[in-house]
Structure 1
Amino acid sequence: MKAFVSPLVSLCIAASACVAGPAKAALPADAPVRHVLLVSVDGLHGSDLAHFVAAHPDSTLATLAKQGIDYTNAHTVAPADSFPGLMALVTGGTPAVTGVYYDDSYDRSLAAPGSDCSTLGSRVRYDESVDTGKPSAIDLAKMPRDPKNGCAPLLPHAYLRVNTIFDVVHDAGGYTAWIDKHPTYEIVQGPSGNGVNDIFLPEIGGNYEGMNNVATTEITGSLAKTERYDAMKARAILYEIDGRTHDGSKDAPVPNVFGMNFQSVNVGEKLHGWRDADGDLTPGLDASIGFVDGLLGRFVRELDKKGLRESTLIVITAKHGNGPIDPALLHKIDSDKLEQAVRVAAPGALAQITYDHGALIWLKDQSETSKIAAALRAHADELGIQDVLHGTRLADLFPSPKKDSRTPDLIVVTRDGVIYTSPHDGKLAEHGGFHDDDTSVALILSNPGLAGGRLVRYPVSTTEVAPTVIGALGLSPDKLQAVVREGAGILPGVNWTSSHALAQNEAGVTRAGP
């Protein structure tokens, strides 16, 4: 059977940007807002935000917090990688329902890229390694194959198991846009493949922060280059606020839901780190947050200029944090040692291992799971291991790997501060694990129609962002499949002014300031 790929998806595969025709806005007229601008400042913790605002009380971030709600105890999903972190924000789901555990993972039901699907079990890479380079776009030859669809290449959006906020708004007749760092982030299109009207995915390149002998052309090897990259994407947001496509070439509706991610803080944390265990900012990290703050200020001013500030909910958060915050805890262990320990314990059993501030392990032979777990625990000191999850304890967090083709067989939780990496890696922090430093993120909702200057101190999840976005646009959060399955609710304290006639929820909410 020949796989069908829509013209829109074909265009997005061939280039790093895609623009569909404008949709007629048909969202409820009495919705609290008409637009939601969702911004992920990758790496930004709630503590980073607090330190920055205290030092810069006149900053854009400080002003946005005063005009809304600051969730000081917000956490993203684990493992805290960009891919599952973004999916939490735009679907309202954890990896248990999205099926997205990392941008480099494994699926027992798929076949290897370029194969005839006669053998199942494939590494699934949805990172920069699958670009064509002409221009930055996805190479179908590097996609895993789907035996249930004629052995066709499986693009990221088709890998996602639930719909997104873009799907819901698009289906309601709204107009949507998104900007991110790799072409594989077309995953935000949702399973339909057309949830985003205007998508822009310029490649940022590899994970070169802190690496030795990095070519000068690599963006993340340089904070200055990363900032220029972020500024380029921010310019696209300004075009969209002005009622243009991301490149400014055509008229378009101001998106009902749109946004982007910033990488400067992520790179700043890895290159400069923090002063101490309290998370006091180094000058380099303070400057990287300040750079993003300046771009956010441009967004706010442009919204004001266009008369859109009151009708726009601004969401500032992060896909993930970074750690360790305490520089004294940083301990790098050669990733080859971890992989070798698995191979020695059960030769031939390893299918895929993904590591950063922790590790995910998939096996060809699941009967070897307990043996490998025991071997890893026996070498816990030298491998920096705090815990190894498998069996019943793993199934408490995710679907059992015996029933779900994507769940890792083992999860290695490292001691706080342990990063599996190359011995020559100079970075000071990383993410991808289960530590508080990985999962703790900033979260601000800002709009003049919200009861402003509030702090919510008890724990909330970034999975609550998606239903909050949909509700703010006057649509039912139950339109999100992950919300129905896992039950994420609207963020607490979202109390619109009386003109919006929304129910108030004061529980656990306090006013910010004295």
Structure 2
Amino acid sequence: MKAVLNEIDGYDHSRAHKIGTPAIFGLNFQSVSTAQKLPASDELEGGYTAKNVPGPLLAKNLDFGNVKIGALTSEIAKRHLADSTTVILSAKHGQSPTEPTALTRIDDGPLLDSLNSAWRKIHPAAGDLVAHSVDDDAILLWLTDRSQAATEFAKKYLLAQSGTGTDINAAPKAFTRSGLSKVYAGKTAAHYFHVEAGDARVPDIFGLAQYGVVYTGGTKKIAEHGGAHADDLDVPLVVSGASVPDGVRDSASMQTKQIAPTILNLLGLNPRSLQAVREEHTTVLPVR
């Protein structure tokens, strides 16, 4: 470990002498995410009973995480490590919707099939237009034809579609514009993700869903992530432990991408060793 640290730019050797070789330990609790998405499990209702009010299953799994994190921090205190340990607690995403009555399930299969069919009608020699899709509470499409004409065709077609999905009780619920509020196509999609046009990693179509829309062919999901709603993006962030003031709340806007450089900084390493930190000018969290 020390040999590796010696190769990292900016390692603070004097601090390392005081605290010893630093270590990182991570935990990932999937149970909360699952409880947000499932209609029910173990005879407990999943998701939310009202806007941002956890239902029985979600409350149970939040309590589970709380107990496990409490056990970890208790062990840290028991071993007299509190003065040299910092705990960072957050989530990589939320789930949408947290308002159960807003749920509109839409089967994306027929939508994409009809898009491909419409494309072949005007391009008889062509195959399917959609090469790959990722649809949760957004629509991301990679096309076999990445031209401006093709991406604009897909955008216009999707925004012209209406139909019927299902609500929280699996009852019929109408939708318009394929359940989308806005569609970024081609160059505008690349611009949305802050990259050059033509980057193969970026979808040719990025559709922002209307609030409450979840793309699924069944009724086993009541929430999803991957979109740009506040329910997806706004997550808690708690930093506790060494060098961190107790009971301080900061209302300033923070981003989860600040966690990685903060960890390096706490370990006495140079956050700018990370390429993304240098390119995006990411700052560390104000934990001191």
TM-score (norm 1): 0.46
Alignment of 1:356-395 (within 5 A): 356-367=136-147, 368-379=150-161, 381=176, 383-395=178-190
**Equivalent residues in 2 for 1:1-400, closer than 5 Å:** 28=12, 29-30=14-15, 256-271=23-38, 272-277=46-51, 279-347=52-120, 348-367=128-147, 368-379=150-161, 381=176, 383-399=178-194
For residues 279-337 of structure 1, the C-alpha deviation after alignment (integer angstroms, 9 at most, x for no partner) is: 12223211110011111111112212222222111010011101100001011001212
2:251 is equivalent to residue 457 of structure 1 = yes
Q: Does 1:404 align with 2:177?
A: no
Kindly state the Cα deviation for residue 342 of structure 1 after the two structures are TM-superposed. Answer: 2.6
CA contact (8 A) 1:34 1:256 kept: no
Q: 1:395 to 1:280 in 2, by over 3 A?
A: same
Partner of 1:431: 225
| 1:399 Cα offset (Å) | 4.8
Cα deviation, 1:4-27, whole Å, max 9, x if unaligned, reads xxxxxxxxxxxxxxxxxx655765
**Superimposed CA distance per residue, residues 247-298 of structure 1 (whole angstroms, 9 cap, x where no aligned partner):** xxxxxxxx61220211111111123111212x12223211110011111111
Superposed displacement of residue 494, structure 1: 1.8
In structure 2, what is the Cα distance between the partners aligned to 1:34 and 1:363?
53
Assess if the C-alpha contact under 8 Å between 2:258 and 2:284 holds in 1.
yes
In structure 2, the partner of 1:494 is: 287
The 10-residue stretch of structure 1 (302-311 or 473-482) with the greater mean CA deviation from structure 2: 302-311
| Counterpart in the other structure of 1:64 | none
Task: Please list every run of 5 or more consecutive structure 2 residues that lacks an aligned counterpart in the other structure.
Answer: 39-45, 121-127, 163-175
Post-superposition shift, 1:392?
A: 4.2
CA contact (8 A) 1:389 1:410 kept: yes
In structure 2, C-alpha distance between the alignment counterparts of 1:451 and 1:325, rounded to whole Å: 32
Cα distance in 2 for residues equivalent to 1:269 and 1:432: 14
Partner of residue 482, structure 1: 276
* Deviation for aligned residue 1:450: 1.1
Matched-pair contact (CA < 8 Å) for 2:105–2:213: yes
Q: Is the 8 A contact 1:391 1:400 kept in 2?
A: no
CA distance in 2, matches of 1:303, 1:417: 41
Corresponding residue SS for 1:267 = helix
Q: Is this contact kept in 2: 1:337–1:383, CA < 8 A?
A: no
Compare CA radii of gyration and give the structure with the larger one. 2
**Preserved CA contact (<8 Å) 1:401 1:408:** no
By how many angstroms is 1:397 displaced?
2.2
Q: Report if the CA contact (8 A) 1:369-1:409 is conserved.
A: yes
Q: Partner of 1:30: helix, strand, or coil?
A: helix
Query: Once the 2 structures are TM-superposed, how far is the Cα of residue 344 of structure 1 from its aligned partner?
Result: 2.6
Code of the aligned partner of 1:30: R
1:473 correspondence with 2:267 = yes
C-alpha distance in structure 2 between counterparts of 1:405 and 1:284, whole Å: 40
Distance 2:177 2:154 in 1: 16
Matches of 1:438 and 1:334, distance apart in 2? 20
Deviation at 1:34, TM superposition (A): 5.3
Instruction: Kindly state the Cα deviation for residue 369 of structure 1 after the two structures are TM-superposed.
Output: 0.6
Partners of 1:431 and 1:275 lie apart in 2 by 19
| CA distance 1:400–1:297, shift in 2 (3 Å) | closer
Partner of 2:170: none
Letter in 1 for 2:199: D
Alpha-carbon offset, residue 394 of structure 1: 2.0
Local SS of the residue matching 2:207: strand
Amino acid at match of 1:435: H
**Equivalent-residue separation in structure 2 for 1:355 and 1:306 (angstroms):** 46
| Equivalent position of 2:210 in the other structure | 415
Q: Which amino acid aligns with 1:474?
A: G
* Compared CA separation, residues 260 and 319, structure 1 to 2 (3 A): same
Q: Deviations over 1:433-462 (max 9, x none)?
A: 111111111111111421221112132111
Amino acid at match of 1:257: I
What is the match of residue 239 of structure 2? 445
Aligned length: 252
1:471 Cα deviation (Å)?
A: 0.9
CA pair 34-384 structure 1, distance change in 2 beyond 3 A: farther
Distance 1:34 1:384 in 2: 54
Counterpart secondary structure, 1:403: coil
Separation in 2, partners of 1:34, 1:259: 19
Fraction of identical pairs, as percent: 33
Decide whether aligned partners of structure 1 residues 287 and 346 sit closer, same or farther in structure 2, where only a CA change above 3 A counts: same
Q: Which amino acid aligns with 1:394?
A: A
2:257 alignment partner, SS class: helix
User: Which secondary structure does the structure 2 equivalent of 1:294 belong to?
Assistant: helix
